[in-house]
Structure 1
Amino acid sequence: MEALFIFIVKSSGLIALFYFAYFFLLRKETFFNSSRWFLLAGLITSIVLPFVVYTKVVWIDPVPVSVDYAPAVNYHYIPNYHPQIAEEESFEINWNLVSLGIYALGFAAFMIKFGIDFYSLNSVLKGKKVEQQADFKFVDVEENIAPFSYFDYIVYNSSMYSESELESILEHEKVHSDQHHTVDVIISRIFCILFWFNPIIWLYKKAILQNLEFIADNEAAKKISDKKAYQYTLLKITTHETCVAITNHFYQSLIKKRIVMLNKNQSKKWNYWKYYAIIPALGAFVLLFQIKTIAQEKKELKEKTKKAALASIIQDGEVYKITKSTTDQELKDLTAKLKSEHNVDLEISNVKRNRDNELIAIKIEVVKERGKVQVIEMNSTKALKDCSIVIDKDEEGTKSVSLVTDDQIDHPVVIQNRDIAVINFDSDANPEDRSSPVPPAPPAAPIAPVFPTGPMPPAPVIDMSKMPKPPVAPASPKDKAAWAKFEKDMAEFEKKMEAFEPDLSAYEKQIEDIMSQREAIFEKQMEKYEIAMEKFNFDMDKFNQDVQIKYGRDSKEYERSIKQYENDMRQHQLDMKQHEKDMKQFEKDMKQREKDLKKWEKENNKKS
């Protein structure tokens, strides 16, 4: 979104740059064709140049590493870990989306207007007689419209002009058609749609149309013997009922300027320098906005900085380095030396090596001063990076033990996906608890609710033996007395039938109430289920981060947690599909019940 806004701002700035260069330097010059290409080049440049980015690499000295070094990974394991639920953020207006919506509305409105103009043009040309002459198609219409050209079509109303006036008009429109000025008109219109919010683009479009008229007037005047007659034609044609959009009109609201430019002396050639005045401005634009600087540290100084940083960390202490090629015997000697020289209890276990006999996993348990126990684990499928056990003393003589890895010297503050875990315990903790910590159990995925079911009330049963019998109609249609009695009997029969028939509406209402209650219960259960799924996803992310920090991406525990999460998500998808299936079955059952009720009612009517 931000990149789009930056592009629009840069393009709008370039459009303004070219327009003001034309307005202040080129507007009064008679280099009309050159000005045409200058204005078109400005539009193309405003679209292309923002995408041209020059990358500049700057070599800098490495940033000195601070002496106040903190271990890159300091993970404190908490057995009873309960992730917090993220609080819902308060509502805020996204002004980027609002701006994009306003832009889209304006863009759509001008696109519709563009389509309407094309439709109007097609209505003018549709069904008209076309006369082909050379490369032009002449269309003589009866409507009172301004003469115009559209590609190779030249449209005019011959009854409105004399023969000499019509000759001037046609020569003018031939220039428009022959030099494909319609392309310029359409391009300027498209840019007005894209940058409709920028007032400069509308002035830019006016400048393009005005310059096209200057070109056509200049070329047409060369082919007409009587130049003054041509100017009188411009003065005579001042009003028209209709002007068709996206075309080159013979008449424009700049007659005075056109006549002035027709009588103006040709500009001197040395004035061409004005076209090149835009180049320094474009260069400044590139230097200010289109250069991306990338800083890289010098490798040699970087290595020296690493060594200096390590030296500053060590100070007056001692360093015992463990590399990927350190042997088991060297590890045993290291344990004995730390005990004898520094009274540091060091226990090394879980040593694993690859085929090249390189260390890929190790666990170091250190009993530190003041009864603190530190367990350091490194686990990977690849050879471990070099690390050092640093024993340092502060001003009071208190010893401290810490682990330093080479990549920590490069990035002493950044914590990345490193296969190292540091866990601190109290000295009185159970030794079994100081083994590799068991990762917390992954959160259980919630179970999707099932649509409530249960027995439905039975449909009412009719006792056919107690049903009243309908009266028999008289045999003779002329017996009025008999027919009057029959109508009276029918009225009584219908009254008895109304009292006898079951109340179907009450039964249907009973069914609807039961189903609506079940549907409301199910919707509440689904809302709770969706909230539980959001919490589950949040808890699962926390769990994955927990396992990843302790064991690394390459560990089996991490792979197991990822597989468990994928299985839970697949089950969630299956539950949602089953939910959709249950809802479809519910709708199907309701339709079937309606059909059964209608069938039951129809059969009772037949029996009666």
Structure 2
Amino acid sequence: MELLTYLLKVSACTVLFFAFYLLVLRRLTFFKTNRFYLLVTLLLSFIIPTLNFTIEREVPAAAVVFDQPTIVNREKEVAQIQIPNQIAYSPIAEESFDWYAVLPYLYFGIVACLLFIATWRILQLVKHTKNGAERINGLKIVSKTNGFTNCSFFNYVFIDNKSLTEAELQVLLKHEQVHAQQLHSVDKVLLIIAKAFLWFNPVVYLYDKALEQAHEYEADEATSQSFGTEQYANLLLRLAIAKSEMPLVHNFVKSPIKARIKMLFNSKSKNMKKLMYLLAVPVGLGLLWGFTVKVVEVSRRTEITEIKTEGNGDLKAKISKKDPLWNKTIKGKIKSILITEVGEVLNFKYDNGLIRVFNYAKGKVSVGDELSISIGGSITDLGMKDPKGNVVKKLDAPCYLV
């Protein structure tokens, strides 16, 4: 269940972060910043659910309410039991199959298959690089006429020399050089890993498409500045039918051509619009608060002046050893604390109910602590007595003594 909860929180983070991208950032022409936003928010989506912060909110000790114990008369309870005339037999139902126990194996099985497929595709790419490569401007050019062509993976560029003129080849190499210099292939590998672990989440596939689009916009912008916008747009249209089926590579015309050409001729966003990225901060803070912060109510430890006595006072406690919990050890958790001058009264929750426990050592325990206590009796009268025998402070509430 913890794995399922974590994955659901990761998915919720991706939904909110990507929704902000679609509504606010997608149309901006700050392509590098958009790429950075997509990568960082995807990484934060995996990190945020793993964080855990606790905020203690103090409540006045006087506001602590103790539940009164319920006394059940077992003799009357037995007398009211009615014996039915007929006893109906019902067969014992067989234990149902626990699907939650199978889910982790199913999930990781699919993850392993997807990672295996990705590894196999990388090996196929490596296989093609062994055919011999020509080095041009830091790129390794691999010539091939079928399969995936006119695309790149890291600094390897796979081209079809027969379908390109010399001028078109220079434009394509400039485009793929931008991909190599900006390490866009690293992003592709990271997205493949993310899709393997979030295969059930449709938003992660939208992340992949948006990031690939940002890559192409960034490379198109740099290439069009070197060779001219119109000439570059014409080359995109001519090569639009040559698409790659290899998801690891950057294909020259794989992304939607209409959107890429339209973006080439769009006016650039003003620098002031970069402030819009700051609007993502409240989104991240909201996710942090919702998934990582836990508010715990604790009793306010007010300073109480101890009663001054002449000489050594002592505690007066009438112990009753007839209580069923006397001399037994029970385990439970402190629900709240009531502070008095003579000690602390703990509201102690255990398996069979809620009891009050007197704590001589004030400040040694806190709300939420899990303890194992041995009952030594129940206190019916507790007070502070001065040397003359006068009770100067009395606690009327009965509680157990440990």
TM-score when scaled to structure 1?
0.47
Cα deviations across residues 139-194 of structure 1 (Å, max 9, x unaligned)? Answer: 22343532122212222121221111111111110110111110111111111111
What's the CA shift for 1:238? Answer: 2.3
Tell me, in whole angstroms, the C-alpha distance in 2 between the residues paired with 1:169 and 1:375.
Answer: 87
Task: Give the SS at the match of 1:149.
Answer: strand
1:277 equivalent in structure 2:
279
Q: Structure 1 residue 218 and structure 2 residue 214: aligned? A: no
What's the CA shift for 1:131? Answer: 1.9
The number of aligned residues is 318
For the Cα contact (< 8 Å) 1:243–1:249, is it kept in 2? Answer: no
Tell me, in whole angstroms, the C-alpha distance in 2 between the residues paired with 1:414 and 1:108.
Answer: 53
Higher relative contact order (CA 8 A, sep 6+): 2
For the Cα contact (< 8 Å) 1:61–1:302, is it kept in 2? Answer: no
1:37 equivalent in structure 2:
36
Cα deviations across residues 37-95 of structure 1 (Å, max 9, x unaligned)? Answer: 1111111111122223332111223434456598xxxxxxxxxxxxxxxxx99513334
- Structure 1 residues 420 and 121 mapped into 2: Cα distance closer, same or farther (>3 Å)? same
Tell me, in whole angstroms, the C-alpha distance in 2 between the residues paired with 1:108 and 1:264.
Answer: 43
Tell me, in whole angstroms, the C-alpha distance in 2 between the residues paired with 1:198 and 1:365.
Answer: 62
Tell me, in whole angstroms, the C-alpha distance in 2 between the residues paired with 1:163 and 1:270.
Answer: 41
- Structure 1 residues 261 and 378 mapped into 2: Cα distance closer, same or farther (>3 Å)? closer
1:93 equivalent in structure 2:
97
Tell me, in whole angstroms, the C-alpha distance in 2 between the residues paired with 1:99 and 1:238.
Answer: 43
- Partner amino acid, structure 2, of 1:163: E
For the Cα contact (< 8 Å) 2:48–2:287, is it kept in 1? Answer: no
- Structure 1 residues 45 and 419 mapped into 2: Cα distance closer, same or farther (>3 Å)? closer
What's the CA shift for 1:205? Answer: 0.4
- Partner amino acid, structure 2, of 1:92: S
2:180 equivalent in structure 1:
177
Structure 1, gaps ≥5 residues long: 71-87, 305-318, 323-363, 367-372, 381-405, 423-551, 553-608
2:5 equivalent in structure 1:
6
After TM superposition, list the pairs within 5 Å mapping 1:291-302 onto structure 2.
291-300=293-302
- Structure 1 residues 196 and 321 mapped into 2: Cα distance closer, same or farther (>3 Å)? same
2:239 equivalent in structure 1:
237
- Partner amino acid, structure 2, of 1:190: I
Tell me, in whole angstroms, the C-alpha distance in 2 between the residues paired with 1:280 and 1:54.
Answer: 18
2:398 equivalent in structure 1:
none
Q: Structure 1 residue 413 and structure 2 residue 355: aligned? A: yes
Paired-residue identity, %: 24
- Partner amino acid, structure 1, of 2:273: N
Tell me, in whole angstroms, the C-alpha distance in 1 between the residues paired with 2:325 and 2:242.
Answer: 90
Tell me, in whole angstroms, the C-alpha distance in 2 between the residues paired with 1:169 and 1:276.
Answer: 35
- Structure 1 residues 188 and 302 mapped into 2: Cα distance closer, same or farther (>3 Å)? farther
- Structure 1 residues 64 and 34 mapped into 2: Cα distance closer, same or farther (>3 Å)? closer
For the Cα contact (< 8 Å) 2:175–2:223, is it kept in 1? Answer: yes
CA RMSD of aligned residues (A): 3.4
Tell me, in whole angstroms, the C-alpha distance in 1 between the residues paired with 2:325 and 2:168.
Answer: 98
Tell me, in whole angstroms, the C-alpha distance in 2 between the residues paired with 1:32 and 1:104.
Answer: 35
After TM superposition, list the pairs within 5 Å mapping 1:347-366 onto structure 2.
none
2:200 equivalent in structure 1:
197
Tell me, in whole angstroms, the C-alpha distance in 1 between the residues paired with 2:7 and 2:68.
Answer: 47
Q: Structure 1 residue 321 and structure 2 residue 317: aligned? A: yes
For the Cα contact (< 8 Å) 2:144–2:160, is it kept in 1? Answer: yes
Tell me, in whole angstroms, the C-alpha distance in 1 between the residues paired with 2:95 and 2:175.
Answer: 61
- Structure 1 residues 144 and 302 mapped into 2: Cα distance closer, same or farther (>3 Å)? same
For the Cα contact (< 8 Å) 1:365–1:375, is it kept in 2? Answer: no
For the Cα contact (< 8 Å) 1:144–1:241, is it kept in 2? Answer: no
For the Cα contact (< 8 Å) 2:188–2:248, is it kept in 1? Answer: yes
Tell me, in whole angstroms, the C-alpha distance in 2 between the residues paired with 1:266 and 1:299.
Answer: 60
For the Cα contact (< 8 Å) 2:244–2:254, is it kept in 1? Answer: no
Q: Structure 1 residue 258 and structure 2 residue 287: aligned? A: no
For the Cα contact (< 8 Å) 1:61–1:301, is it kept in 2? Answer: no
2:337 equivalent in structure 1:
none
Tell me, in whole angstroms, the C-alpha distance in 2 between the residues paired with 1:133 and 1:152.
Answer: 10
> Between Structure 1 and Structure 2, which shows a larger proportion of helix residues?
1
Tell me, in whole angstroms, the C-alpha distance in 1 between the residues paired with 2:238 and 2:183.
Answer: 26
- Partner amino acid, structure 1, of 2:267: N
For 1:130, which of 127, 130, 133 is the aligned residue?
133
- Structure 1 residues 320 and 67 mapped into 2: Cα distance closer, same or farther (>3 Å)? farther
- Structure 1 residues 166 and 144 mapped into 2: Cα distance closer, same or farther (>3 Å)? farther
Tell me, in whole angstroms, the C-alpha distance in 2 between the residues paired with 1:295 and 1:374.
Answer: 32
For the Cα contact (< 8 Å) 1:146–1:243, is it kept in 2? Answer: no
Cα deviations across residues 367-390 of structure 1 (Å, max 9, x unaligned)? Answer: xxxxxx88997699xxxxxxxxxx
Task: Give the SS at the match of 2:355.
Answer: coil
Tell me, in whole angstroms, the C-alpha distance in 2 between the residues paired with 1:365 and 1:125.
Answer: 87
Structure 2, gaps ≥5 residues long: 72-91, 307-314, 330-342, 349-353, 358-370, 378-401
What's the CA shift for 1:296? Answer: 2.2
Larger radius of gyration: 1
1:46 equivalent in structure 2:
45
After TM superposition, list the pairs within 5 Å mapping 1:132-531 onto structure 2.
132-224=135-227, 226-240=228-242, 242-300=244-302, 321=317, 410-411=347-348, 413=355, 417-420=372-375
Cα deviations across residues 80-128 of structure 1 (Å, max 9, x unaligned)? Answer: xxxxxxxx995133342243333223322312221221122122222x2
Tell me, in whole angstroms, the C-alpha distance in 2 between the residues paired with 1:374 and 1:142.
Answer: 91
2:112 equivalent in structure 1:
108
Tell me, in whole angstroms, the C-alpha distance in 1 between the residues paired with 2:292 and 2:109.
Answer: 30
Task: Give the SS at the match of 2:275.
Answer: helix
- Partner amino acid, structure 1, of 2:27: K
Tell me, in whole angstroms, the C-alpha distance in 2 between the residues paired with 1:138 and 1:21.
Answer: 39
For the Cα contact (< 8 Å) 1:145–1:157, is it kept in 2? Answer: no
- Structure 1 residues 153 and 59 mapped into 2: Cα distance closer, same or farther (>3 Å)? same
2:368 equivalent in structure 1:
none
Tell me, in whole angstroms, the C-alpha distance in 2 between the residues paired with 1:379 and 1:109.
Answer: 55
Task: Give the SS at the match of 1:244.
Answer: coil
- Partner amino acid, structure 1, of 2:247: A
What's the CA shift for 1:273? Answer: 2.8
- Structure 1 residues 252 and 91 mapped into 2: Cα distance closer, same or farther (>3 Å)? same
- Partner amino acid, structure 1, of 2:317: K
1:398 equivalent in structure 2:
none
What's the CA shift for 1:257? Answer: 0.9
